[in-house]
Amino acid sequence: MTNWFMSYMPLQASAHSAEIDHMTILVHWLMLIMFVGWAAFFVFVLLRFRKGANPTASYAGAKGKFAKGTEVVVALIEVVLLIGYAIPAWATRVKPMPADPQAVIVRVVAHQFAWEIQYPGPDGKFGRTDPKLLSSDNLLGLDKDDPNAKDDIVTSNQLNLPVNRPVLVHLSSQDVIHSFGLYEMRIKQDAVPGLDIPLWFIPTVTTDQMRQKVGKPDFEYEIACSQLCGLGHFRMRGFVTVQSEADFKKWFDDQEKEQHPAPVATAPPAANP
Ligand SMILES: [Cu+2]
């Protein structure tokens, strides 16, 4: 059943996705057993207490201990799933990211209906953003006069990440509640206006490797907004490109050159003859 179940799931592409899937499969097993069990019990009750066999209603109720016993067993299994699997998986995700100077730190800001991505640049500091600076060509509201913003890289709906390095995302929203869903990474987190919510994961499969796995040369990891956030919710899609370290560095350097071209050196004034 595990293989059958997994064939309906997005492929795993982050370090913790197998753990999440393991728990999801256990929960589905429990639900399947309960569905069959309760359905059989329901049919049994329909037959056992049919009008023909019980012409006069009994107001005392059934005396059997079976139903109560089953409820206790189901509750116990749920406690085991919660304490043994769900809480530990949640605790790892909300723990601070493993200290790693090589981690990629990025801001993701949701708005109706797109994802704005901000990389801090080589100085490691995010430039200031301000809602007053929002405009059609500055969808992040970045304060370009802030010294920390001078080397920041800003993209729309495109998040590039290196493979096998922890990624720390600072997630926020400019307007309503959105939800940052990366299905192959088994990541989903609400983006809430006024809050900076950290989340982290380690991508383990590059986009190129995933294209080969799924046999689709145009496959892309998608950032799907997972909260109904307005009329344009259906088109609120971003993309994640997971790259080798060298490809990521090249992409980053190209963005730096494109977004922050070095000031053109002006020729010194010609000396008067
Ligand atoms: Cu949204």
Nearest to 140 by CA among 132, 222, 260, 102: 132
- How remote is the CA of residue 189 from the centroid of ligand 1, in Å? 12
- How remote is the CA of residue 157 from the centroid of ligand 1, in Å? 12
CB 209 within 8 A of CB 174: no
Q: Which residue has 């405009």 as its token pair? A: 135
Confidence of residue 269 (pLDDT cuts 50, 70, 90): low
CB 151 within 8 A of CB 123: yes
- How remote is the CA of residue 191 from the centroid of ligand 1, in Å? 9
Predicted confidence (pLDDT) per residue in 58-116, tens digit: 888 777 787 788 889 889 999 998 999 889 988 888 887 777 678 899 999 999 999 99
- How remote is the CA of residue 181 from the centroid of ligand 1, in Å? 10
The pTM of this model reads: 0.83
Measured in residues, the chain has a length of 273
- How remote is the CA of residue 240 from the centroid of ligand 1, in Å? 16
- How remote is the CA of residue 207 from the centroid of ligand 1, in Å? 24
- How remote is the CA of residue 185 from the centroid of ligand 1, in Å? 19
- How remote is the CA of residue 129 from the centroid of ligand 1, in Å? 20
Confidence of residue 264 (pLDDT cuts 50, 70, 90): low
**pLDDT at 61 (0 to 100):** 72
**What share of the chain in percent tops pLDDT 90?**
55
- How remote is the CA of residue 171 from the centroid of ligand 1, in Å? 13
CB 122 within 8 A of CB 149: no
Nearest to 175 by CA among 119, 115, 127, 118: 115
- How remote is the CA of residue 111 from the centroid of ligand 1, in Å? 7
**pLDDT at 212 (0 to 100):** 94
Contacts for 123 with CB less than 8 Å, ≥ 6 apart: 148, 150, 151
Grouping H, G, I as helix, E, B as strand and the rest as coil, residue 237 is strand
Backbone angles phi, psi at 121, to 5 degrees: 80, 180
- How remote is the CA of residue 133 from the centroid of ligand 1, in Å? 21
- How remote is the CA of residue 230 from the centroid of ligand 1, in Å? 7
Backbone angles phi, psi at 229, to 5 degrees: -115, 10
- How remote is the CA of residue 159 from the centroid of ligand 1, in Å? 16
| β-pair type (158-162, 237-243) | parallel
- How remote is the CA of residue 178 from the centroid of ligand 1, in Å? 4
User: In the predicted model, is pLDDT for residue 202 greater than 90?
Assistant: yes
- How remote is the CA of residue 227 from the centroid of ligand 1, in Å? 6
Contacts for 111 with CB less than 8 Å, ≥ 6 apart: 139, 173, 174, 175, 178
Q: What is the mean pLDDT of the chain?
A: 89
CB 222 within 8 A of CB 242: no
- How remote is the CA of residue 39 from the centroid of ligand 1, in Å? 39
Predicted confidence (pLDDT) per residue in 25-65, tens digit: 988 998 999 899 889 989 998 998 898 888 888 888 777 78
